[in-house]
Amino acid sequence: MLLAFTLVAGPMASTLAAAEAAKTTAKDECQKGMQEAQIDAESVGGGNFWGGFALGFCLPLVGNVLAYVIPGPAVPKYLAASDESDKYKNCYTQVYLTETKSRKRNKSFIGSLVGLGSICVLYGVAHKKK
């Protein structure tokens, strides 16, 4: 009876160990992709303060919305040609797009608010009572 259990349980245990190792490897690849995406997103900078300023100055209220809605930079082209796994590429892409969009929105939105504020200041100065 013990021999029969060993013959059946032995291959199952090795299969379970292999499945667990594959999950760990995929998780490590995803972590690596996320870390590298954050580093790359910081180096790109993403966002355009002066573009947001121009939108806020020229199109006061609409410019603020446009500065927030316009998408961030695309994923680097070298990622498609890399030899990394699909799990790595998916994790990298998600984090990279999230980080760059967030940075772009913040910088552009702040620029558009400064542009809108400068219009308010110019209007106040132009219509100042003497």
Report how many helices (DSSP H) and strands (DSSP E) the chain contains, helices first.
5, 0
- Return the higher-pLDDT residue of 74 and 35: 35
Confidence of residue 80 (pLDDT cuts 50, 70, 90): confident
Angle of helix 49-58 relative to helix 60-69, nearest 10 degrees, comes to: 150
Backbone CA torsion sign across 54, 59, 64, 66: negative
pLDDT at 20 over 70: no
Q: Which two tokens stand for residue 47?
A: 């966002």
Question: How many domains does the chain fold into?
Answer: 1
Q: Could you list the residue range(s) of the whole structural domain that residue 79 is in?
A: 2-126
* Beta carbons within 10 angstroms of residue 63's beta carbon: 25
How far apart are the C-alpha atoms of 79 and 92, rounded to whole Å?
A: 9
Confidence of residue 23 (pLDDT cuts 50, 70, 90): low
Q: What is the DSSP string of 74-119?
A: PPPTHHHHS---HHHHHHHHHHHHHHHHHHHHHHHHHHHHHHHHHH
Q: What is the pLDDT of residue 14?
A: 55
Tell me the three state secondary structure of residue 45.
coil
